[in-house]
Amino acid sequence: MKNFALIGAAGYIAPRHMKAIRDTQNNLVAALDKNDSVGIIDSYFPEASFFTEFERFDRHVDKLRRANHAQKVDYVSICSPNYLHDSHMRFALRSGADAICEKPLVLNPWNIDGLMDIEKDTGKQINTILQLRLHPAIIELKQKVAQADSQHKFDVELTYITSRGNWYLNSWKGDETKSGGIATNIGVHFYDMLHFVFGALQQNQVHYHSPTCASGYLEYEKARVSWFLSVDVNHIPEQVRSQGQRTYRAIRAGDQEIEFSGGFTDLHTVSYQEILAGRGFGLEENRVAIETVSTIRDAKPLGLVGNYHPFLR
Ligand code: NAD
């Protein structure tokens, strides 16, 4: 049985990590969050120590490490806001633990280089949650693409609208310096999946970018992709919105619609199973997606030219 510590325990995604730790028959020994709304811990690990101050959490984890205690932390799971991930990963590795970090791993590619040095110095490892790589529909698509003529480029249209209320722009998620902006915070899943399925990234153009919506064109070895992301409910097609739906996901690759709306939730547990079996996704596997979001963030939008997404019209 492995011992886990968790950073960001009061947040939205933390319970999926608690569930994954429990479902893989492991133990949560310590948790940190600056917010103390963490009653959810009782549903999973009521015996875990909880801290609202980093320094006390650090002291506790260090005590367990030095005493070679039965509860010495083997993994630190990181569910904090995006701009804190690299610092929390450094803490994990320097504490003698491996890290399991939420997406996006970091905001910029050069942050990955610093983390590689810490991996070398400590001999510990960073694993990331890239759950779409484990989704059966995406694995099937990857296989289909691998079997296609190697010269063929698929025409892909990716539309992802996941409505958020007014709170979004007033939280860290709406602050580009903390979340990286919409393409980083929400899009990173898809850019990673596109690279995983369609190979090396060759072109990256941005047509439109605002705090609530972004759209552009990406070209990969095996695909030309126009993409549209939004957190604005008004972008949901009328016939879908009139049925009360606040999310719209569509990926079309050639003549095929890829349906991956279901089966998202339990992919954290599958991610943990893979990591514990030594098949986690490491730092380098994140590089292309992080380069993609970093370029999108800094690009000057081109407007309606070239291969823009039809929703921009
Ligand atoms: P959230 O705001 O709900 O939770 C973040 C938590 O971190 C909060 O409880 C906050 O109090 C805590 N926190 C902030 N600063 C801290 C600090 N210095 N030390 C300790 N705790 C601190 O956000 P969320 O939606 O749970 O997102 C957390 C992470 O998970 C983000 O990186 C996000 O991108 C990622 N995420 C991944 C998925 C996925 O499908 N894989 C889905 C949602 C979020």
Average pLDDT (159-179) is 97
String of b and e for 261-286 (b: at least 16 CB within 10 Å)?
Answer: eeeeeebbbbbbeebbeeebbebebb
Contacts 24+ apart (CB under 8 A), 33-39: 33/7, 33/8, 33/9, 35/10, 36/10, 37/10, 38/9, 38/10
Answer yes or no: is pLDDT of 256 > 90: no
Can you tell me which atom of ligand 1 is nearest the CA of 8? 7
Domains in the chain with CATH codes = 3-128 (3.40.50.720), 132-264+282-312 (3.30.360.10)
Q: Which atom of ligand 1 is nearest to the CA of 101?
A: 32
User: Which residue puts its alpha carbon closest to atom 20 of ligand 1?
Assistant: 33
- Separation of CA 52 and ligand 1 centre (Å): 15
Atom number in ligand 1 closest to CA 82? 32
Phi, psi torsion values for 50, nearest 5 degrees = -130, 140
The pLDDT confidence band at residue 262, using thresholds 50, 70 and 90, is low
Q: Name the residue type at position 105.
A: L
**Nearest of 208, 206, 213 to residue 294 by alpha carbon:** 206
Note whether ipTM > 0.95 here: yes
> 265 pLDDT band (50/70/90 cuts)?
low
Residue type for 272, please?
Y
Adjacent-strand bridge partners of 258: 251
Virtual CA dihedral for 13, 18, 22, 26, nearest 10 degrees? Answer: 120
Tell me the HSE value of 5 on the side-chain side, using a 13 A CA sphere.
Answer: 32
- What is d(CA 216, CA 121) in angstroms, rounded to the nearest whole number? 39
What mean pLDDT do residues 156-181 have?
97
Cα–Cα distance for residue pair 52/10, rounded to 1 Å: 10
Q: Residue of the nearest CA to atom 38 in ligand 1?
A: 13
Closest to 80 measured CA to CA, from 3, 15, 13, 159: 13
Contact 31, 280 (CB under 8 A): no
What whole-number percentage of the chain has pLDDT above 70?
A: 98
